Amino acid sequence: MLKHLYIVLAGFHTGTGFDGGSVKEYTRAAIAAMANPHVHIITHPGNPQFPINLEKLVLAAVKYNKAIEINNNFFSISAKEAYHVVSC
Average pLDDT, the chain: 84
pLDDT given for residue 88 in this prediction = 46
**Mean pLDDT, range 43-62, rounded to an integer:** 91
Reported as a single tens digit per residue, the pLDDT across 50-59 is 999 999 999 9
Instruction: Read off the pLDDT band of 13 (50, 70, 90).
Output: confident
**Does the pLDDT at position 87 exceed 50?**
no
**Mean pLDDT, range 64-72, rounded to an integer:** 86
Instruction: Read off the pLDDT band of 68 (50, 70, 90).
Output: very high
Q: Which residues pair with 41 in a beta bridge?
A: 9, 67
Helix or strand holding residue 60 (H, E): helix 54-64
Segments making up each domain of the chain, as ranges: 2-71
